[in-house]
Structure 1
């Protein structure tokens, strides 16, 4: 057979580490950039090596290894340690040093803040190259599963359920002992009293453990606690993916070259309240007076949008459409238009909902028209309430309407400009 023949494994080869990679390989860029940056000023821990004793690994080499892993999707310290042995690019980058996985893990653990400073420093470097537009960003979040044991994750609801199960089991054991005590035939006793008492003692020990966990949660002011990763919380991973222990990673991307401008890791399941934090962080990094931001309806929170408006951040955020029990989109709440001058709502068919709240100083006012709803031929498509459709309005409603009108006007202008381009 005419196969391509490999070289003999015992053949001696003479080569330099420099020959491992091409002149245009990306690892040369990593090497030059990290050598150029003053990593000590960014907060990286620099070891004070003396002549005596074992030398430590150069933090620049460990940082190059970490950045290489980030660019190539290698997160595990064990996998990075293996790359130092088998990957020619990594061997060239770290000059054929072979740090153990614990060294890599400790470097990452000891320099968490410094790594974020490095990211911001690199963003500033790219801004200097003109790679960021600094006018429009898009904000979104993604859920990441934490490297934390689910068995060691507790919430107050879980503690309540586990306590109820343990107490029910204890009652069951005590009931079995009571039945055995009433039995006249001692020889035919079906339970092992010593084993049962041991099981009861174990369950009582578990109950004490649950009390200790709940006390720790109360002291920390949290409803959840994880003994593997203290910061991890239960987050929702999607409509059909359920919940898991993890984090919500927020990122802001610049529109010019789709580069990440800022990021943040939170342990809150929803995106509510994160828009101003991310946009304001980008505004400070860009050092600009105004900034436009796009986000999905998960970020729609009036108090957050007001902060953006007051700080020169122009936002384009869709408002969620809250469905009714019927589910006909033609009669969702956003289809009922409010007339401020008359203080009433207009039905999609033209009927009117009047304010039925008597007190003027009431924070939330209610609007209803029982007669119009009762005589409406489309009531079955709108609601199934006995008293008809009810709308509510509070102090934030006017502000919400104003913001939405501004979004529509800005959106039309923005869209027309892009159509012209």
Structure 2
């Protein structure tokens, strides 16, 4: 009896659903909504044409420069404005709107653009730690730009584990070696290797010599 009653309920529900849409096409509100959707659909091809012509992949109706960006752990719609300011006169020498979510790549380009505007062959630049990039610093050096950028602290996770971070090891240019907190030297080991386009040298000591170190 329970099965028969359940089956009958299903049949009744199916019958009701079959007639749910009856007459909806005649409703003024729905007709108006459909008309607006058709107008919106007709605008899309017109918006795609300038995108195809410019090679862009995004379009903002409220702000032509705005794009979808990943800034840290946030997804935002906006833009990244880069500006170079003359320290003497406090004037913006060069500015550019980019779609990058961080400041790691535009440093050398901004330096060269500022040098071109001011008609100089070399320049001294100060930037915040967000511009710290080995590849960009190398490119700036090639372009005769002396750059001062603080090295960002990337060792917080290591320090939170009670381990020694990179800031505890100090480099000695005269001996080309690092000294550890225990006062031992870490000389270069092996041949320099390329990583992410950067030539890197490894400095270390044999593990056997560090095993008994507190």
Task: Give the match's secondary structure for 1:348.
Answer: coil
| Alpha-carbon spacing, 1:375–1:226, altered in 2? closer, same or farther (3 Å) | farther
Structure with higher helix content: 1
Residue 288 in structure 1 maps to residue 120 in structure 2: yes
Give the secondary structure class of the aligned counterpart of 1:325. Answer: helix
User: Against the structure 1 CA distance between its residues 346 and 226, is the aligned structure 2 distance closer, same or farther, given a 3 Å change threshold?
Assistant: same
1:192 to 17, 24, 42: 17
Deviations along 1:206-258, one digit per CA (max 9) or x if unpaired, are xxxxxxxxxx9xx9998x7446367533335678xx44101000111111121
Conserved in 2, the CA contact under 8 Å of 1:338 and 1:345? Answer: yes
Aligned counterparts, 1:118-129, within 5 A: none
TM-score of the pair, normalised by structure 2: 0.59
Cα distance between partner residues in 2 of 1:352 and 1:194: 84
Pair 1:233-2:56 in alignment: no
Aligned to 2:106: 274
Task: Summarize deviations over 1:6-38 as a string: whole Å, max 9, x none.
Answer: xxxxxxxxxxxxxxxxxxxxxxxxxxxxxxxxx
Which secondary structure does the structure 1 equivalent of 2:88 belong to? coil
| CA distance in 2: counterparts of 1:244 and 1:309, whole angstroms | 33
Cα distance, 1:269 vs structure 2: 1.1
Query: Alpha-carbon deviation of 1:264?
Result: 0.6
Whether the 8 Å CA contact 1:233–1:268 is kept in 2: the answer is no
Rounded Cα–Cα distance in structure 1 between residues aligned with 2:20 and 2:187: 71
Map residues 282-361 of structure 1 onto 2, 5 A cutoff.
282-327=114-159, 331-337=164-170, 345-351=178-184, 360=191
Q: TM-score, normalised by structure 1?
A: 0.33
Paired residues of 1:321 and 1:333 also in contact (CA < 8 A): no
Instruction: From 246, 249, 258, give the equivalent of 2:81.
Output: 249
Aligned length: 170
Give the distance between the partners of 2:118 and 2:210, measured in 1 at CA. 53
> Which structure is higher in strand share?
2
The offset of 1:331, in angstroms, is 2.8
Name the CA distance, whole Å, in 2 between partners of 1:194 and 1:373: 80
**Aligned partners of 1:333, 1:194: CA distance in 2, in Å?**
71
Q: Assess if the C-alpha contact under 8 Å between 1:283 and 1:290 holds in 2.
A: yes
In 2, the alpha carbon distance for the partners of 1:372 and 1:269 equals: 44
Which structure has more RCO (C-alpha within 8 Å, separation ≥ 6)? Answer: 1
Unmatched segments (≥5 aa) in structure 1: 1-182, 197-215, 378-421
The answer on whether the counterparts of 2:67 and 2:78 sit within 8 Å (CA) in structure 1 is yes
Matched ranges for 1:4-83 at <5 A: none
